[in-house]
Chain A
Amino acid sequence: MTPIEKVEGRAIPFGLKNVDTDVIIPAKWLKTISREGLGKGAFETLRADPDNLFDQPEYRQAPILIAGDNFGCGSSREHAAWALGDLGIRVVIAPSYSDIFSGNAVKNGILPVVLPQAAIDRLMEVATTDPIHVDLDTQTVTTPFQDRFTFEIDPFRKMCLLNGLDEISLTEKSEAAIAAHEKKIASDQPWLIPATL
């Protein structure tokens, strides 16, 4: 996973609420057995409209996406995060996310920034003309017009994103605790282990 600390660039002023993962990446793109190349399917239905935001020259390769409430709701498909990453998105800024999507984003080096609607409204305005700066270390979003918004993030997620850490390697360090839990189940609740049919 690519570490992420500071991201500066144009932000797509998308702003829609309840954007579901079927909108981010339609089901037909889920037939792949790879994580690569899903950017071409990202927001496919919306991008069928030639005037769509994503394909305007100023927003092509924009690293930031501004969205509305409950972004990434619906399906658990991590393809949504892969598609955004392949599109060049490193940061999403929204008032709230579905729980599954925000976890998937972090695991793919995409920072989900949570800001109140008033801040989103202001950033949407700035995004139409100017770049936005996001700093994970200081947990701030700033604009060339002296706007400065701070955001909260779970410390573990922050550490993983800043260092580009692979969570499985971290968990493997807890081998003894996992083995102890397994041993306890085997002796206290043996019925929890399904029979071999």
Chain B
Amino acid sequence: MTRPRTLYEKIWDAHVVEQRPDGTCLIFIDRHLVHEVTSPQAFAGLRANGRTVRRPDLTLAVPDHNLPTTARKDAAGNRLPIVDMESAAQLAALETNAPEFGIRYIDATAAEQGIVHVVGPEQGFSLPGTTIVCGDSHTACHGGIGALAFGIGTSEVEHVLATQTLLLQPTKTMEVRVEGAVGPGVTAKDIILHITGTIGAAGGTGHVIEYTGSAIRALSVEGRLTVSNMAIEGGARAGLIAPDATTFAYLKGRPYAPKGADWDAAVAYWTSLATDPGATYDKTVIIDAADIAPSVTWGTSPEDVVPITGLVPAPGSFADPSKQAAAAKSLAYMGLEPGTRMQDVAIENIFIGSCTNSRIEDLRAAAAVLKGRHKADTVKWAIVVPGSGLVKAQAEAEGLDRIFTDAGLEWREPGCSACLGMNPDKVPAGERCASTSNRNFVGRQGPGSRTHLVSPAMAAAAAVTGRLTDVRELID
């Protein structure tokens, strides 16, 4: 009888090309996603050493980080130039490198273009049980469909391009089990914010986190991608959720997904991947779904989470002296006083988008709150950025774009947008943003910007009232 194994162990074992005496393994990479920011130096390295891309068929490139989210073509259908010269050069480099090395490329103006972590699952290019890498830490996202997916640096991008493998040490496993049903107004984003607040920003370091339990199984694939996306905010390089009927229904018929008899063989294999009864994790954290409220961050680390009904904490309330110092610094940066009700914090900017929360379900949740309402006059800038051209088209077919624009929000073209301050979408210094993105780091949304991480429904609620708001007050 074979030893019971976790989902992580099964995927790992199936990808070991070679094991070294010290335990390091050469791991085969099934899918490599490439974007414009972390790849130019890797392609330059290949060129300098006369190397080629070993498996262009397993590689997919799409621009996302630098692209402005304003119109990409003029009225006559001609492509509009990118004004920022550095961004333009980086985007042009990908556009040249992809055909030169023969890799699949989705153009900035294609209907399928979008954020790489939205595009992968949407195209069926990301599949359960595969190893997926990308030069971006939010690659953890694809764990939502049961892929072992993680972010890599540019040297590793070059290594994968050249060899389709990575040298890795097996990591420890951590189970985060969320049992029970969440209450009204509580979404996948609130679940992962709550988890991050519970385990801390370094809680998963050195581990792969498998999310289990009835509250996770009840999530749609979109919700699972949101949860796994932020595994990295808890320090884990990868997250995993066992693929099941929900996953298969999502993937069936997607452009790159297996078809016909191949599909049946794939589903049989994917079904066998779930963690065996009796398999053990190095660490387990159990969370009661009933304890999760609509959540919001107050500081500059994603672990700085409180329920929307909570207060800005006092630095002295933390046991760890270094956390006390960090909290004091965070509060000074955020311009917040301890004891302030989170619901009294005024918000000038709203960002609904990012690889965490820009899928159709996210837009539906925001639209449900905004329907028949208008943003507060004190909200100066509010944008909705769909995760891909296909999400955009779907939302428009459902009339969601009209709900957003009628509510006074801007409806944009797909891209990473205000998540990371690399394109024109930035939050002005000293101003706050209720943001559905994944990081509230100092300066993340632009120098001096103050980020409060929330779910799409909560961002919509903040748009309506002009302050952080308990979305449960606006829904039936």
**B-binding residues in A (CB < 8 A):** 16-18, 20, 22-23, 26-28, 30-35, 45, 68-70, 73-78, 81, 96-100, 103-104, 107-108, 154-156, 167-168, 170-172, 174, 177-178, 180-182, 185, 189-197
Across the interface, do B153 and A76 meet the contact criterion of CB distance under 8 Å?
A: yes
Min C-beta distance of A34 to chain B, whole Å: 7
Question: Smallest Cβ distance from B257 to chain A, in angstroms?
Answer: 9
Asked if B368 is at the interface (CB within 8 A of a chain A CB), the reply is no
**Are B86 and A73 touching (Cβ within 8 A)?**
no
Q: List 12 A-B contacts (CB under 8 A).
A: A18-B326, A32-B90, A70-B201, A73-B201, A74-B439, A81-B153, A99-B237, A104-B154, A172-B163, A191-B262, A191-B265, A196-B57
Q: Please, which residues of chain B bring their CB within 8 A of the CB of A78?
A: 38, 41, 135, 153-155
* Interface segment, one of B218-226, B350-358, B440-448: B440-448
Contacts of A104 in B (CB 8 A): 153-155
Residue B37, interface by CB 8 Å: yes
Partner of A98 from the list B58, B130, B162, B235 (CB cut-off 8 Å) is B235
Contact of B57 among A16, A177, A193 (CB under 8 A): A193
Pick the interface stretch among B23-31, B186-194, B468-476: B23-31
Contact A27 B156 (CB under 8 A): no
A33 CA to B86 CA, complexed, in Å: 9
Residues on B facing A (Cβ under 8 Å): 17-18, 20, 22, 24, 26, 28, 30, 37-38, 40-41, 44, 49, 51, 54-55, 57-58, 65-66, 84, 86-87, 89-90, 93, 125, 127, 130, 135-137, 139, 150-156, 158-159, 162-165, 167, 169, 171, 201-202, 205-206, 232, 235, 237, 255-256, 258-259, 262-263, 265-266, 269, 301, 322-323, 326, 420-422, 439, 441-444, 447
Q: Is B41 a contact of A154 with CB atoms below 8 Å?
A: no
Q: Considering residues B66, B237, B322, which has the most beta carbons from chain A within 10 angstroms of its beta carbon?
A: B322
Contacts of A193 in B (CB 8 A): 57-58
Sample of 11 more A-B contacts, CB < 8 Å, known A76-B38, A167-B159, A190-B262? A22-B444, A45-B443, A76-B151, A104-B155, A154-B24, A155-B22, A156-B24, A189-B265, A189-B266, A193-B57, A195-B259
Contact of A171 with B167 in the complex, beta carbons under 8 Å: yes
